[in-house]
Amino acid sequence: MIDFTNCKRLLTKAYSGANGKKIAVEYEGEQYMLKFPPSGKERKTELSYINSCYSEHLGSSIFNMLGINAQKTMLGTFTVDNKEKVVCACADFTADGKILYDFCAIKNTVIDSEHGGTGTELSDILDTIEKQTFVDPQMLLEHFWNMFVVDAFLGNFDRHNGNWGFLIDPTTNKAEIAPIYDCGSCLLPQADEGVMQEVLNDEDKLNARIYRFPTSMIKNNDIKISYYDFLCSASNEDCNEALKRIVPRIQMDEIDAFIDDIEPLTELQKSFYKRYLAGRYEKILLPAYAQVMDESEEESLTIKPL
């Protein structure tokens, strides 16, 4: 892995957010945000301590593999007080002077919204997407549901309004959808070796982490959405269209090969990540996709020519 310890620190750049410390460095002429794993009271075991960095790298990379623009990430190390820490280096997509506005800030500009910027009620999010004036609403709607489907695949339990959004160019006042970022809550980041072994050896333990938890941070009628229940209900046509776009792109062999090539991962971790992703693909996405395609076929059969 790359050792970022002696990279130039960019002391005029700082990042907000929880779940670990963050610093800005320059590496090979490019600006990166180094994300450190949570420490102190947030730390459970040595393995779960570093898993958030692996989750960040895996999640962002899989988004990119599926054709959804996400931050570029690399794994590396950084030594602090003679202790070497695993870090995730995230290419800084604001290095060219663009300003990141998260969806929470955009949501606050819709003055007739029923909830504040942090509210994650689905109906309110969709209302904001329709009413915001920063980017094309239809393009943003497709992006939101693409992100939702992939988060379902990755088991992301913390996609809230503060970790996705827009980039604004202050010189042109033009806005664009920001790359996907903040994927550290994917892939059960607090799982220790015991949990990993349980998931690999006990189908009931795996199923509990697919059907019961994690849930989405987004709520429907004030209840956090179950990825399985919501996707398989085929109740939202825009979400159904996202399933049609995303599921055919998923090549599990390519994802497995990518995981196998990540040198810092132990064989246990590699087996766990591959099994967990395969489980979510087979037990959530494929049934939901089949449901959506069946309904589409039934609709086409009932449409009579004029």
What confidence tens digit (pLDDT) does each residue in 101-115 have?
Answer: 999 998 888 766 666
Q: Which domains does the chain have, with CATH numbers?
A: 2-91 (3.30.200.120)
Which pLDDT tens digit goes with each residue over 36-64?
987 655 445 545 556 899 999 999 999 99
- The model's pLDDT over 215-245, given as tens digits with 9 standing for 90+, comes to 999 999 999 999 999 999 999 999 999 999 9
Q: What whole-number distance in Å separates Cα of residue 229 and Cα of residue 235?
A: 10
pLDDT in tens, 260-272: 999 889 999 999 9
Would the CA dihedral through 38, 58, 48, 157 be positive or negative? positive
In the predicted model, residues of the chain with pLDDT beneath 50 are 42-43, 46, 301, 303-306
Question: Using N-to-C axis directions, what is the helix angle for 267-280 and 252-260, rounded to 10°?
Answer: 160
CA atoms within 13 A on the CB side of 194: 3
| pLDDT number for residue 41 | 54
User: 32: which 2 tokens?
Assistant: 């990166």
Q: What is this structure's pTM?
A: 0.91
